[in-house]
């Protein structure tokens, strides 16, 4: 069974990513994982924390001689440099504020609740009188561990020709107009991860203005996965649908307030004849050199975003997420004191102006993790070679069901 969890706090000693259930023989290195961690740290509008950290996942278990070991859980540790080098907003070292042991002297509690954060529901649920107990774990810093786990899953899925990318469609109301065929290298070169060069500059200007105003910005990101076979997921139960799992995974990313697939909410305005993705006839499928279909059952459009009935269609998987503006803003909102209930300014700690470009990288990781689980559910295998054989056999079987109907028939 595939499992993935994280542990750690924003200003604690470090973060842990734990993955269980991947087959043996997947090539993976710390340098490979570092590439995605560096992508997460980049982005115009990031705050001072990213000047302190150089995120690096140290593999603790489950990898030997550059490959995953059979059945062994993979654990990775990412050090929080700020824990040992920095001070909190009260001037106390983080080693004091976040000490595992009882400390002498006062540790300043956080009583001024922040609207939009987990503070208020968290302190009530867990019966604490210090919002620090909530914000440390609810912080988006935790997503560093998700990205490390996602990188391992990227290495696994790459063995099947699956690629997962993301780009930004909107920041602060500035809309990008990406080309039909996206240049992913250009997206990586953009400071806001946009495929539209003109929008990149306008987005940066909007971020600069928000910083000047002491405010924050939200936006819209899109994740695209290609190379997926038809039939991942299942229609048989609500919780086995891949659409269910993807919506939950991407919706779990900090600040995400809405998830859609393909044409998404725009479908509400259209008639069915304009929405559903017509299947091409066999003469338009195309054959690979090995005799299999290049893409069996291809569509003329992809309004469904690569999902029908909770299963992949073989078309690109397209997932979008709305990202709200960061809740910690330079000019704090009015709020209340946790102890007295009286009017106060919300607590402020160092933060980003926008989280949107970073959110795309994190959403990529969650899609990668979800797809890795779906692959293992479908194809199994204790070693990557076994998984590849199962995958190849299944792909070769796809096509018209009558004998002699062509490739895979």
> In what helix (H) or strand (E) does residue 205 lie, and over which residues does it extend?
helix 197-213
Is 35 among the domain residues?
no
Per-residue pLDDT of the chain (409 residues; tens, 9 = 90+): 899 999 999 999 999 999 999 999 999 999 999 999 999 998 888 766 556 678 999 999 999 999 999 789 999 999 998 888 888 877 888 998 999 999 887 788 999 999 999 999 999 999 999 999 999 999 999 999 999 999 999 999 999 999 999 999 999 999 999 999 999 999 999 999 999 999 999 999 999 999 999 999 999 999 999 999 999 999 999 999 999 999 999 999 999 999 999 999 999 999 999 999 999 999 999 887 777 788 899 999 999 999 999 999 999 999 999 999 999 888 999 999 999 999 999 988 877 899 999 999 999 999 999 999 999 999 999 999 999 999 999 999 998 987 455 554 4
Is 301 among the domain residues?
yes
Distance CA 140, CA 357 (A): 13
Burial class (CB in 10 A: 0-12, 13-18, 19+), 393: exposed
Domain count, the chain: 1
Question: In Å, what is the CA distance from 330 to each residue of 89, 136, 211, 227, 353?
Answer: 13, 19, 8, 43, 9
Give the residues across from 344 on adjacent strands.
335
Q: Is 229 helix (H, G, I), strand (E, B) or coil?
A: coil
Is 266 among the domain residues?
yes
Helices (H), 190-346: 197-213, 242-251, 272-275
Question: In Å, what is the CA distance from 182 to each residue of 186, 194, 260, 320, 364?
Answer: 8, 10, 20, 15, 16
Tokens 């971020």, residue located: 207
Q: Is 290 helix (H, G, I), strand (E, B) or coil?
A: coil
Is 300 among the domain residues?
yes
Is 220 among the domain residues?
yes
Distance CA 259, CA 321 (A): 5
Which domain covers residue 136, as residue numbers?
111-143+161-397
pTM reported for the whole predicted model: 0.95
SS in 3 state form for 385-407? HHHHHHHHHHHHHCCCCCCCCCC
CB 142 within 8 A of CB 18: no
- Residue partners of 116: CB distance under 8 A and separation at least 6: 324, 327
Q: What six digits make up the tokens of 104? A: 């002498």
Residue 363: the pLDDT is 98
> In what helix (H) or strand (E) does residue 69 lie, and over which residues does it extend?
none
Output DSSP code: residue 261.
E
CB 370 within 8 A of CB 242: yes
CATH classification at residue 280: 3.60.150.10
Is 53 among the domain residues?
no
């Amino acid at each position: 069974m595939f499992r993935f969890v994280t542990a750690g706090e924003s200003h604690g000693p470090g973060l842990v990513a734990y993955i269980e259930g991947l087959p043996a023989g997947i090539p993976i290195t710390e340098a490979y994982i570092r590439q995605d961690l560096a992508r997460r740290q980049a982005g115009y509008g990031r705050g001072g924390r990213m000047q302190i950290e150089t995120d690096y996942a140290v593999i603790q278990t489950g990898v030997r001689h550059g490959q995953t070991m059979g059945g062994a859980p993979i654990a990775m540790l990412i050090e929080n440099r700020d824990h040992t080098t920095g001070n909190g907003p009260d001037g106390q070292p983080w080693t004091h504020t976040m000490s595992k042991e009882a400390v002498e002297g006062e540790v300043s509690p956080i009583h001024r609740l922040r609207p939009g954060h987990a503070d208020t529901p968290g302190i009530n649920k867990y019966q604490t009188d210090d919002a620090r107990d909530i914000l440390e774990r609810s912080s988006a810093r935790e997503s560093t561990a998700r990205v490390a786990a996602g990188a391992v899953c990227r290495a696994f899925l790459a063995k099947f020709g699956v690629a997962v990318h993301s780009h930004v469609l909107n920041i602060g109301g500035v809309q990008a107009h990406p080309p039909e065929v996206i240049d992913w290298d250009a997206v990586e070169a953009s400071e806001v991860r946009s495929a539209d060069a003109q929008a990149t500059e306008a987005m940066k200007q909007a971020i600069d203005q928000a910083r000047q105003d002491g405010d924050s910005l939200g936006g819209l990101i899109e994740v695209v996965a290609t190379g997926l076979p038809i039939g991942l997921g299942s229609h048989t139960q609500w919780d086995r649908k891949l659409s269910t799992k993807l919506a939950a995974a991407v919706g779990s990313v900090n600040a995400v307030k809405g998830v859609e697939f393909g044409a998404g909410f725009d479908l509400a305005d259209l008639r069915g004849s304009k929405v559903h993705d017509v299947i091409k006839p066999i003469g338009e499928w195309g054959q690979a050199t090995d005799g299999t279909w290049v893409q069996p059952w291809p569509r003329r459009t992809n309004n469904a975003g690569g999902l029908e009935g909770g299963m992949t269609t073989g078309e690109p998987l397209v997932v979008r997420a709305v990202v709200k503006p960061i809740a910690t803003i330079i000019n704090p909102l009015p709020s209340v004191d946790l102890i007295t209930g009286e009017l106060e300014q919300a607590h402020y700690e160092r933060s980003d102006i926008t989280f949107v470009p970073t959110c795309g990288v994190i959403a990529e990781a969650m899609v990668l993790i979800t797809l890795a689980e779906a692959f293992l559910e479908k194809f199994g295998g204790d070693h990557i070679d076994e998984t590849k054989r199962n995958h190849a056999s299944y792909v070769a079987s796809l096509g018209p069901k009558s004998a002699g109907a062509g490739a895979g028939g």
